[in-house]
Amino acid sequence: MTNPDVNLYSATRGGSELYNNTANQPSGLISNNRGDLAVAQALPSYAELVRLGRTFTMRTATASAFNAVAALPTTLGAAILFNNESAGGLSYVIHSIFCTTIVTAAAATQYSLLAQVLPSPLGTATAPTHSATTTILTNRSGNTSYTSKAKRAINVTTFFTDGWEVVGTQGGLAAANIGGGVFANIAGSIIIPPQGALGMNVVAGTVNTAGMIVGCTWSEVQLTLG
């Protein structure tokens, strides 16, 4: 029995990137002489998500810098991103979480960047009172408007003592330094569902008074969650 030919086609989204294509124009697939499908990534990772205009970064404002304390936090989230979408709404896919010092550290130290995702087996998330002054928000594609339902706040005490996860560390920082911090490439491994929250905090080797800011970058996308 001979195998019939099967032609596979992808459907383009439209725009002018490919052959001045229009929306839903078929484009053929190409394979090599072994039959391997030839696929090339046209843009860097996340470029397509950012192009869609719903990728954002938030961080604590400079005037709201907090103490990085030499102890594991209990219920305190130094900053929170809350997904205020209704059930079935957009989910927040986290790209990265970061922190940095903006004043001189008093002594040699190290930092652990912490995150907590709610809901979890420990409990559900509580919506904070939104604060657009203690947190700063920017759009990754240069869009000046923001119509999202996200709520942002600082110093929220609705998290759980044993729910903190270390997502990144940095050690060996000298005394009297500015700019010591941690960048954690989450790469989509954290997703905040509607009515869920991401809490962030930092543990320091020595107390850094009013010297730490923390934040995250995320994309808002429609997902079917398991």
197-213 average pLDDT score? 92
The average pLDDT across 111-129 equals 97
The verdict on residue 213 lying in a domain is yes
With respect to residue 226, please indicate whether it lies within any of the assigned structural domains.
Answer: no
Which stretch of DSSP H or E encloses residue 47? Answer: helix 47-51
Residue with tokens 């954002």: 56
92 in the same domain as 19: no
CA-to-CA distance for 135 and 80, rounded, in angstroms? 9
159 and 78 in a single domain? The answer is yes
Q: Is 215 a domain residue?
A: yes
DSSP string, 71-134: S--SS-EEEEEE--PPTTS-EEEEEEEEEEE-S--SSSEEEEEEEEEESBTTB---PPPP-SSS
In single-letter form, the type of residue at position 74 comes to T
pLDDT at residue 78 above 90? yes
Same domain, 137 and 26: no
Tell me, yes or no, whether 55 and 110 share the same domain. yes
* Distance separating the N- and C-terminal Cα atoms of the chain: 41
* pLDDT, tens digit (0-9, with 9 covering 90-100), for 86-110: 999 999 999 999 999 998 877 778 9
CA distance 23 to 12: 6
% of the chain at pLDDT higher than 70: 88
Which domain, by its residues, includes 20?
Answer: 1-40
Is there a single domain that holds both residue 106 and residue 168? yes
State how many domains the chain has: 2
Q: Is the pTM of this model over 0.95?
A: no
CA distance 197 to 84: 9
**Cis link prior to 119 (omega < 30° from 0)?**
yes
